[in-house]
Amino acid sequence: MSFFKDRNCYLKDYNLTLTDKIFGFNYVYLLLITLVVLMGVAILYSVGGGNFNPWASKQLFRFTVSLTFLFAIAMTNLRLWMKYAYAIYGVGLLLLICVSLFGHVGMGAQRWLNLGFFNLQPSEIMKIALILALARYFHGASLTEVRTIRFMIPPVLMMAVPVALILEQPDLGTALMLVFASFGIFFLVGVQIWKFVVLICGGILSMPILWSFLHDYQKKRVLTFLNPESDPLGSGYHIAQSKITLGSGGVWGKGFLEGTQSRLNFIPEKQTDFILTVLAEEFGLIGSVVLMVLYTAIIVYGFIIAHRCHNFFGKILAVGLTINFALYVFINTLMVMGLMPVVGVPLPLMSYGGTAMLTLCIGFGLIECVHINREMVIGRRGSIDDE
Amino acid sequence: MSVWKYEKSRVMTIRLLGISVVFALIGCVILGRLFYLQVLQGEKYLLLAEKNRISVRMTMPMRGLIYDRNGVKLAENAKTFQAVLIKEQSPDYKKTLNNFLKLISVEEDELARIEKELRWKRAFMPVRIKDNLTFDQMTLLQLNAPDLPGIQIEEGMMRFYPAGEGNTHVVGYVSLLTEKDVDGDTSDPRLDLPGYRIGRTGIESSQQSLLQGEPGRRQSEINAVGRTVRILDETPPRAGQDITLTIDSRLQNEALSLLKGYAASIVVMNVQTGEILALVSAPSFDANLFTVPISVKNWNKLLHDKHRPLQNKVLSGLYSPGSLFKLIVALAGMESGIIGPQTHIRCTGKVTIGDHVFHCWKHAGHGTLTLEEALMHSCDVYFYEIAQKIGPEKIIETAAKLGFGSPIRIGLLGESSGLLPTDEWKQRRFGDAWRLGDTLNLSIGQGFLNATPLQMLTAVARIAGGKNIQPTLLKQNVQDNPQQIDFKQSYLKILRQGMIDVVNKPGGTAYAVRFQKDGWRMGGKTATTQVRRISMKEREEGLKSQDELPEEYRDHAIFVAFMPTDKPKYAAIVMVEHGGGGSRTAAPIMSRLMRTIIDLEENTALPTGGGK
């Protein structure tokens, strides 16, 4: 570790050996992530009726695979990501267009590209690609530039195009996450607060127009959220059962493998979006608070890593990815607790699902990469040389 | 570091702090909501989760059986077989249903119900397609089983009345419990039992609480689609009590066949114990029609039959007792010391009270009569004369002691009290004082007075046996040794002698039906009660014979009898609505009834009275 005190790191040909990187890796951060995944595996074991099949073992396997991605990405050179940020974004956008042209329709939405061996979900790739692209865009921008409207047109378009494509799929949850993550980055890099206020007011005023673009099932979800009694056996039933499951856990929970609501299938999607309710049912308030503490720790760590990073690209990237992670947590928990419409966002690292796990681990790999390369100097255009 | 970098770095640090604050606020909301749901509302949601999880189902108790005095089953639980369709076991349930309908037809409205249930019931819940499968139908279904995937034959319980229509009015019938029966109290657990039936009439209704038993409870854990996962707790149902009646089902059916074609009733009673051996109201009907919901056609047929088969005429038919009441008047006379056996009274055929003439049924008059002779000939004038001296109060008091004016309570519901008119009653009802004419009408059992056949028989049975019996249908309520009735036994003997003479002395109103069988003879009393007033004009033109009148204008015919004559054991009443006349219609039926009783007693040792 003493290595980082070395002034050499400010040299223009700043370069770390693999050993440096392995030592520089933030293992506490990884531990927090692993703990959450293990909690998820335990719950999946319970949801499977006290069995590793069909979910727990698969989830564990997927995490192991994702972990190699995390490590591999952490070992890369941060400049590489700066260099290819726009390219990655371009590929992501292309894939999204492909999906809207010949994507696979599943569950009433067109989200997947069938690659034969793997169902690729380009909207997941876009979550990372957009943050990379925005980080690259704002990396070399001065405050004065950021505060001009003209300078903000390209990043807004960068966000708006994929959001429109994803809304059309339709996937309200992912679209919302992209918008919020981008706004987070805009805020971070110093866009004036009054612009956000204007945007929010404009958004509220244009609500009726947006409403007409929503699909019927999305409208129904929002309406059911606003008035759950209107559909007690449909989506309202799910929200009601979700609250019953959460609440019935009480302070101490019903005990591991003792959750009646989940075991008797009163919970829809119990292994994916509604997994928090199972945790809360079996481990009570204690269990859910422990999980929230772990999530908080992961978020705080992400921000600290960003704060310590000397280059803007890394800073923005780490903050963006952490915001993205936090959005998963917020949207899912608020949705499950009946404070938000059901939009189909999984609980990160807990919910069963390969794509989300992989995307999240790629994100964590990038954050680790930022952490390892925090003292790296990156020029305005991504070159070593700066001013 | 350049200035712009420094500025940007500073702003980003502040903005990162800002984002952290926003996140912390959202975190607080999440924790607050968790606390609210899991701690503040935890109890409520735990209850809701339990309600989700646990289903309490009732299990059917076995209804108590009903036996007659000889152990013949009058009501039993028969196994039935019904065809059900389970959707999830059929690849195409609509096709299965169509195949089924090709084999066995189902009524139109039933088909509508089946189609509705198939739509909304869960796939694993059986839908009833056809009740009460016959053996042939079951064979048919089994042969065609490959075409009927999802069809299953299930066992069910059905109430069955095997002992014949003669028993219907005693035993009654059951039918399906509806929400109306529990006053709309939808929490009544019995409503959850498909096919739960309750008694509607007869013993089935009056003894419902004994017969019904108690449903069992099965607590089971169910999953979200309602399928049972495991059974948590089970209390088995408690079967209802069996009930033994005092009636003889053979006599019941025999009695019913004697009344064929009439709206009529018969009651047979043991005068020593009060056991009712037969209680028949004609016409009767098959109680089994009601156990499956009765068809509209059958219901209307029963409802609109002019002979009113649904009414139990023994309990709720009200008739003037007519000449029968002369027995009571005579007893009242002797009890008050106004007449004795040797009191002679001359009948001229009519009595004039004020400007009103009261006729004897025999216009020529009976001449001078003793009490026994007056009973034998059923002379009206004799009783007009003595009733004036006795006064209505004493007559009413005597009648009440014998059972008139209040329900007898034999163990069936819906019994009428009849009417024993008093001065006070008349004042209240008509605002008019009791007049002498009322007393005269009362003395021959006409006027306001009315009673059920059961009350009339009870009075005669008390006179015949001399005991204050409590008539009953329930074996368990039979008194071993009833007390003597509070009348002088010698007076009762005189009344009995009068009744013996009615049948056995030439000139008695029922002399034609006398018999002497295995040492048994009967005594009896005829009664003919007017259904409509005879006008003076008709009287002058000469009375039409009963046969010339349309049925509904003919007189009611009553005959009450007891036997044997020396030590009475049985008493019976035959009451035929619009029968024309007691001696003409009712007495021959009685004669045949009594001889049937002797046959049963002699040949098969009908258990003698005493109950135990």
Q: What is the pLDDT of residues B474-516, one digit of tens each?
A: 999 998 888 999 999 999 999 999 999 999 999 888 999 999 9
Q: Which residues of B touch A261 (CB under 8 A)?
A: 49, 52-53
Nearest chain B residue to A305, by CA: B16
Q: Inform me whether the pLDDT recorded for A2 exceeds 70.
A: no
In this complex, which of A188, A261, A285 lies closest to B38 when CB atoms are compared?
A285
- The answer to whether position A377 is within a domain reads no
What are the distances in angstroms from CA B238 to CA A345, B58, B113, B212, B232? 54, 12, 32, 9, 19
Q: Which residues of A touch B4 (CB under 8 A)?
A: 142-144
C-beta neighbour count of B364 within 10 angstroms: 9
Asked if B38 lies within 8 A of A184 by C-beta distance, the reply is no
- The answer to whether position A2 is within a domain reads no
In this complex, which of B19, B49, B222 lies closest to A188 when CB atoms are compared?
B19
Question: CA of A115, closest CA in chain B: separation in Å?
Answer: 35
Banded pLDDT at B118 (limits 50, 70, 90):
confident
CB A324 within 8 A of CB A183: no
Asked if A337 lies within 8 A of B23 by C-beta distance, the reply is no
- Give dist(CA B167, CA B414) in Å, integer: 17
Full domain range(s) for residue A221: 13-372
Question: CA of B232, closest CA in chain A: separation in Å?
Answer: 14
The runs of H, that is alpha helices, within B223-379 are 249-258, 288-291, 296-304, 313-316, 325-335, 371-377
Over chain A, what is the mean pLDDT?
Answer: 86
Asked if A247 is an interface residue toward chain B (Cβ–Cβ < 8 A), one would say yes
In this complex, which of A247, A260, A303 lies closest to B16 when CB atoms are compared?
A303
C-beta neighbour count of A28 within 10 angstroms: 9
Question: CA of A137, closest CA in chain B: separation in Å?
Answer: 14
List the Cα angle B118/B122/B127 in 5-degree steps: 45
Report the DSSP pairing between strands B66-67 and B243-244.
parallel
In this complex, which of B12, B30, B222 lies closest to A334 when CB atoms are compared?
B30
Q: Environment class of residue B372 by beta-carbon count within 10 Å: exposed (0-12), middle (13-18) or buried (19+)? A: buried
**C-alpha torsion A363→A364→A367→A368, nearest 10:** -140
CB A280 within 8 A of CB B38: yes
The pLDDT assigned to B156 comes to 76
Taking Cα atoms as reference points, which of B490, B467, B465, B510 lies closest to residue B341? B490
CB A309 within 8 A of CB A322: no
Q: Mean pLDDT throughout B94-123? A: 84
Asked if B4 lies within 8 A of A143 by C-beta distance, the reply is yes
Copy the structure tokens of residue B216.
């069992």
Banded pLDDT at A258 (limits 50, 70, 90):
confident
Asked if A184 lies within 8 A of B19 by C-beta distance, the reply is yes
> How is domain B51-72+163-245 classified at the CATH fold level?
Penicillin-binding protein 2a (Domain 2) (3.90.1310)
Share of chain B above pLDDT 90, in %: 50
Copy the structure tokens of residue A94.
């292309």
- Give dist(CA B205, CA B199) in Å, integer: 4
Asked if A144 is an interface residue toward chain B (Cβ–Cβ < 8 A), one would say yes
**ipTM higher than 0.95?**
no
Q: Mean pLDDT throughout B116-133? A: 79
Banded pLDDT at B120 (limits 50, 70, 90):
confident
Q: Which residues of A touch B221 (CB under 8 A)?
A: 260, 264
| pLDDT tens-place string over residues B568-585 | 999 999 999 998 877 888
Asked if B224 lies within 8 A of A266 by C-beta distance, the reply is yes
Asked if A245 is an interface residue toward chain B (Cβ–Cβ < 8 A), one would say yes
| pLDDT tens-place string over residues B171-208 | 999 987 877 777 766 667 676 676 788 899 999 999 99
Asked if A143 is an interface residue toward chain B (Cβ–Cβ < 8 A), one would say yes
Q: Inform me whether the pLDDT recorded for A88 exceeds 50.
A: yes
Asked if A299 lies within 8 A of B23 by C-beta distance, the reply is yes
- Give dist(CA A71, CA A367) in Å, integer: 11
Asked if B29 lies within 8 A of A334 by C-beta distance, the reply is yes
Q: Inform me whether the pLDDT recorded for A10 exceeds 60.
A: no
Banded pLDDT at A232 (limits 50, 70, 90):
low
Report the DSSP pairing between strands B73-86 and B66-67.
antiparallel
What residues are paired with B175 via a beta bridge?
B198
Q: Inform me whether the pLDDT recorded for A105 exceeds 70.
A: no
Q: Which of the pair, B263 or B518, is modelled with greater confidence? A: B263
Phi-psi domain of A190 (left: phi exceeds 0; alpha: psi -120 through 50; beta: other): left
Tokens 């299990």 found at: B59
Question: Which segment of A100-109, B54-63, B308-317, B601-610 scores lowest on mean pLDDT?
Answer: B601-610
Domain coordinates in residue numbering, chain B: 51-72+163-245, 79-160, 249-604
Banded pLDDT at A383 (limits 50, 70, 90):
low
Q: Mean pLDDT throughout A160-169? A: 88
Question: Which segment of A62-76, A166-180, B201-215, B494-508 scores lowest on mean pLDDT?
Answer: A166-180
Q: Which residues of B touch A234 (CB under 8 A)?
A: none
Interface probe for A, chosen from B30, B41, B220 (most Cβ of A below 10 Å), is B30
- The answer to whether position A75 is within a domain reads yes
Q: Mean pLDDT throughout A324-349? A: 91
In DSSP notation, B176-198 reads E--GGGGTT-TT-GGGGSTT-EE
Question: CA of A126, closest CA in chain B: separation in Å?
Answer: 22
Q: Which residues of A touch B11 (CB under 8 A)?
A: 143, 189-190
Over chain B, what is the mean pLDDT?
Answer: 87
Q: Inform me whether the pLDDT recorded for B536 exceeds 70.
A: no
pTM of the model: 0.66
Q: Which of A169-173, A237-241, A283-287, B435-439 has the highest mean pLDDT?
A: A283-287
- Give dist(CA B538, CA B517) in Å, integer: 43
Phi-psi domain of A368 (left: phi exceeds 0; alpha: psi -120 through 50; beta: other): alpha
Per-position b or e across B42-75, b if 16+ CB within 10 A of its CB: beebbebbeebbebebbebbebbbbbbbeebbbb
Copy the structure tokens of residue B558.
């009553």
Taking Cα atoms as reference points, which of B34, B31, B33 lies closest to residue B23? B31
Question: Structurally, how many domains does chain A consist of?
Answer: 1
Rg (CA), chain B: 36
Please identify, in words, the CATH class of the domain defined by B79-160.
alpha beta
- The answer to whether position A285 is within a domain reads yes
Q: Inform me whether the pLDDT recorded for A45 exceeds 90.
A: yes
Question: CA of B27, closest CA in chain A: separation in Å?
Answer: 8
What residues are paired with B472 via a beta bridge?
B275
- The answer to whether position A379 is within a domain reads no
Question: CA of A326, closest CA in chain B: separation in Å?
Answer: 8
Interface probe for A, chosen from B6, B10, B23 (most Cβ of A below 10 Å), is B23
Q: Mean pLDDT throughout B307-332? A: 93
- Give dist(CA B596, CA B602) in Å, integer: 10
Asked if A280 lies within 8 A of B38 by C-beta distance, the reply is yes
Copy the structure tokens of residue B323.
């000449």
Q: Inform me whether the pLDDT recorded for A263 exceeds 90.
A: no
Banded pLDDT at A111 (limits 50, 70, 90):
low
Q: Inform me whether the pLDDT recorded for B228 exceeds 70.
A: yes
Banded pLDDT at B607 (limits 50, 70, 90):
very low
- The answer to whether position A3 is within a domain reads no
CB B57 within 8 A of CB B220: yes
| pLDDT tens-place string over residues B240-249 | 999 999 999 9
| pLDDT tens-place string over residues A273-291 | 899 999 999 999 999 999 9
> How is domain B249-604 classified at the CATH fold level?
Beta-lactamase (3.40.710)
In this complex, which of A144, A284, A315 lies closest to B12 when CB atoms are compared?
A315
Q: Which of the pair, B155 or B7, is modelled with greater confidence? A: B7
In this complex, which of B15, B19, B49 lies closest to A245 when CB atoms are compared?
B49
Taking Cα atoms as reference points, which of B366, B319, B349 lies closest to residue B582? B319
Nearest chain B residue to A326, by CA: B23
- The answer to whether position A386 is within a domain reads no
